[in-house]
Structure 1
């Protein structure tokens, strides 16, 4: 295992400057929403039956649709079906799309039976390239819980569950070979004697990651007995010990049925592909390929980083070991990486946020939110909000519906600012709050009651309300089916016909769902917000390092800038340790007296 970086305790100390929340914010937001003008619907067209998911290609040319009969690819300019792949009694529930080459696209899907597939759209035809989790034995049926394609189609990550066990498979795609095979098939289909039945090149598993386990016979005796080489075992043992204590507490406070559900629940994982941080290589194509994947498991405190180097041929079944360990004092609730993957942000229990800098291998900051009971449900980077090269902007969405902005950076105080408060009416609870990449400091908000609007989170004003036609409502507002087209600055969202209007409709087809299209670039008010995000994640890197010496110098400079902040954190940590030790001593004294 590679040498581990600093084993600081992110989340163990509060830090940063916190502003008080604006108690009148909710009333102001409601007033602004009522006064905001509506953005007119640009177009609407009928969707296939039971359209469950939408996705857009990076170049904005195509829209992918997953529905109850398979999947379809539409042209976004004409809104006509370019190709489809249909199969009876198969329902696509998850869909992703990425460009493999010019006019060639990969699609990753999951159906309602938990089967993941990889398709290619090429020359107006959809080809099934591979089934990720083929069911060979019905007694060992595997289910794909999540499937993510990496930008460019070289890698994909699949979370697989089978008979209570769960693991992460990172697949390497033979993209160049597939392109050649697709070109060959396209040329052969022009021949009258072509029979089809193409055998595509198979996938290869780059790495298979299982939840960390403690070696048999290992006992957690305390930090004083741990050697440097045993850090991974020690922190894994901490996770196992914490989970076992939480399960015991839950089992004690619940009835038998709930206890059965708790003990039988499946652990899931969240992963992020990581690009090279230091640009030592002059080959740009190599800098745009992932070199590692970071993973954390539900209920754990540790973020683990694994290299994507292939396993040795003579030891194909060797379980990979993490190269880097990022320990946390609190349980991880959510995570995000910046587009350039240099920064990793973790939303922790007890309303804490930890940001790591992969390039220096050190912690950038620890932020304590203003309300300790604020449970963070989602965290994301607002990369297109950058006003300086040494600032990092984060957006936090809480379970209560409140949204906060965090600004941090090396050698500067952290700043948190509430953008929206948690609504008092459950109908106003936002179910979708996402940053719009092509609109500066603008959020797309969909509420539980079906209301949808664009909000300027800097000035805390509603820019435009997005209202469907009177005959339709936003479909499943608790989990809306939508896609943002960055190139065409367009929102595609599914709308279902209102039941009251359906009863008076004479045409049965009017009861089907429609694709509602809002073109933001056609609105004069929104033109002032439009920005051009970088096409490549590596375009966000503003510094290039040609030697290891320059990288070390940068690290030392950053450490010097943050010395005051680290000294305050250290003093606070010692204070908390003394208070904890005093409480433990009091409990021990009371127990001895009894």
Structure 2
């Protein structure tokens, strides 16, 4: 790949205006097979054919504005949709035969004073589960739902057969099977006194309790400092611990699980959800279902507030996270510019990397699925090489290369930006292009960046009459099957529209596969580094890694405990100092 030469002008490629968008289109989503686009807008949502961009179905309701939308495949012809509106109400839909069916309104508001607001709502791939971040009267928690897909498919089939029956009435009233909340996760609260300053040796439960208690100590210390600062400054408002929000990730089968759980696992279905809370040092994992001893089959977790099944402790607080496509690896962006990658298969950190980003907290971290492989590397197994893209709040962008038996290294792509308008709001790896990322800045500029050669490949610009809509929160979707970008553009206020129709928002597209400039970057499947691995190969690799990494894992555990002990002692000393008012007055 040829690097940009000094003085060489970066080419600009124009986006194509393809169609007018419904009023106030707030979100876009694309199905995994690339066949459909789903649009959330005022008065409801609609589904469009991604190739012809013809609206094939819509669901409308007055005084409703959809602000978040997701789409996943249930069967070859049936799709599940999840949405959140501007009032924080979540809904689940099915799209089949060019009809949208409302299956469930999850948080119906019976008492407006006790209503739960859904801040986020995410579907697992395949639509078996959904996770909702919920707020109610200042408290936050996570709810995980199981969807009765088999029952819904039968009910959809019944609706289709009744519609085809000439003797049936026009409208078919169906009572859809209810979904089930299988787990409600709150911020674990463990008494600080239960944290020992030695290495727990009794059981795994002692270890989990120790880590959670240390997190409680840190949080209480932080709250005490904030309260003391507010008191000294005359501000009596105290920070509520319940304001800590959580970030979930669905996880596929991988790593070590109890023997009585293995038979319940199904390929492609999530088995657990990982959660971290803002301000926490711990990454928590909860199983989505468990088995009862002596009884076949699986049961869902009860309404009792659950304890995590696995805790991954970190020396610093978690700021952001990402999960690899196969969900084996979890990358965490931590305080003090640390990136930790956990390997779920071995149950230990794969690597901890220091990124040279001083005084610039992380904003996001993500995996790069496709990375160019040189001719010299073709004979070397690159299955365990991991590539990450890290975005800082200052606008700096870094790449991280790491992995087992790999020397970790970092590279800075962009410097700290002086003008806040140049700070990226979107920096995302393009799944089907090797080593390229799509960047959208606050000033509305959009370009494709080569993260290997640290060059700008090209700018993507709408026609002069339009601008990228809401560049601080762009409305866009990447169709990986068609290798196409869809993004919303608005009429430039400095250009007068000839008609009311021209002033409407437009859907713009750019097909990377049709661009001669992009053809050299198109990824082939053989360079896929983080895809699914056959079970036999996974087992063989796991046994080899466990045998070769015994000393490494023991050393990592000792170092982690030493860091936790030092942190606990420091926090305890700080609390004792704060509890002595005479010293403070002096």
Partner secondary structure for residue 93 of structure 1: strand
- Aligned CA distance change for structure 1 residues 121 and 261 (closer, same or farther; 3 Å): farther
Contact kept? 2:140, 2:242, Cα under 8 Å:
no
Counterparts in 2 of 1:343 and 1:117: CA distance versus 1, 3 Å: same
Contact 1:43/1:518 (8 A) holds in 2: no
SS across alignment from 1:350: helix
* Structure 2 Cα separation of the partners of residues 568 and 184 of structure 1: 56
Which SS does the other structure have where 1:466 is aligned?
Answer: strand
TM-score (norm 2): 0.85
Please say if residues 315 and 560 of structure 2, whose CA atoms lie closer than 8 Å, have aligned partners that are also in contact: no
Per the alignment, do residues 458 and 147 of structure 1 end up closer, same or farther by CA in structure 2, a change over 3 Å counting?
A: same
8 A Cα contact 2:332 2:340, kept in partner: yes
SS in 2 for 1:88: strand
Equivalent residues in 2 for 1:71-90 (5 A)? 71-90=45-64
SS of the residue corresponding to residue 218 of structure 2 reads helix
Unaligned runs of 5+ in 2: 293-298, 374-381, 578-582
Contact kept in structure 2, 1:333 and 1:377, CA below 8 Å: yes
Q: Residue 550 of structure 1: CA displacement?
A: 7.2
Equivalent in the alignment of 2:296:
none
Selected match of 2:12 from 35, 38, 42: 38
- Cross-structure match for 1:429: 423
Equivalent residues of 1:278, 1:544 under 8 A apart: no
1:555 corresponds in structure 2 to 546
Could you tell me which residue of structure 2 aligns to residue 305 of structure 1? Answer: 285
Match of 1:367 among 341, 347, 353: 353
Deviation at 1:190, TM superposition (A): 2.6
CA deviations over 1:231-252 (Å, ceiling 9, x no partner): 3332222222222222232333
Partner of 2:272: 292
The structure-2 alpha-carbon separation of the partners of 1:419 and 1:91, relative to structure 1 and needing over 3 Å to count, comes to: same
2:152 is equivalent to residue 178 of structure 1: yes
Aligned partner of residue 74 in structure 2, secondary structure = strand
Mark the CA change 1:462 to 1:155 in structure 2 (over 3 Å): closer, same or farther.
Answer: same
What is aligned with 1:7?
Answer: none
Q: Unmatched 5+ residue regions in structure 1?
A: 1-27
Displacement of 1:269: 0.7
Distance 1:535 1:369 in 2: 26
Q: Which shifted more, 270-279 or 175-184?
A: 270-279
Cα 1:329–1:69 change in 2 (3 A) is: same
1:207, distance to aligned residue in structure 2 (A): 1.8
CA contact (8 A) 1:437 1:533 kept: no
Instruction: Verify the 8 A CA contact 1:206 1:311 in the aligned structure 2.
Output: no
Cα 1:88–1:273 change in 2 (3 A) is same
Q: Are 1:234 and 2:225 counterparts?
A: no
Q: Does 1:204 align with 2:180?
A: yes
Give the whole-Å Cα distance in 1 for the aligned partners of 2:434 and 2:45: 33
What corresponds to 1:111 in structure 2? 85
> How big is the alpha-carbon RMSD for the aligned residues of Structure 1 and Structure 2?
3.5
Q: Which moved more, 1:238-247 or 1:145-154?
A: 238-247
Does structure 2 retain, via aligned residues, the 8 Å contact 1:410–1:558?
no
Match of 2:377 in 1: none
Higher relative contact order (CA 8 A, sep 6+): 1
2:376 corresponds in structure 1 to none
What pairs with 1:180-579 in structure 2 (closer than 5 Å)?
180-192=154-166, 193-194=168-169, 195-214=171-190, 219-220=193-194, 222-224=196-198, 228=202, 229-254=205-230, 260=237, 262-263=239-240, 266-277=243-254, 286-309=266-289, 316-385=302-371, 387=373, 388-502=382-496, 505-532=497-524, 539-541=531-533, 544=536, 551-559=542-550, 562=552, 566=555
How far is 1:426 from its partner? Answer: 2.0
Question: Structure 1 residues 398 and 233, CA, compared in 2 at 3 Å: closer, same or farther?
Answer: same
Q: Conserved in 1, the CA contact under 8 Å of 2:134 and 2:140?
A: yes
1:394–1:306 distance in 2 versus 1, CA, 3 Å: same
Distance (whole Å) between structure 2 residues aligned to residue 82 and residue 178 of structure 1: 21
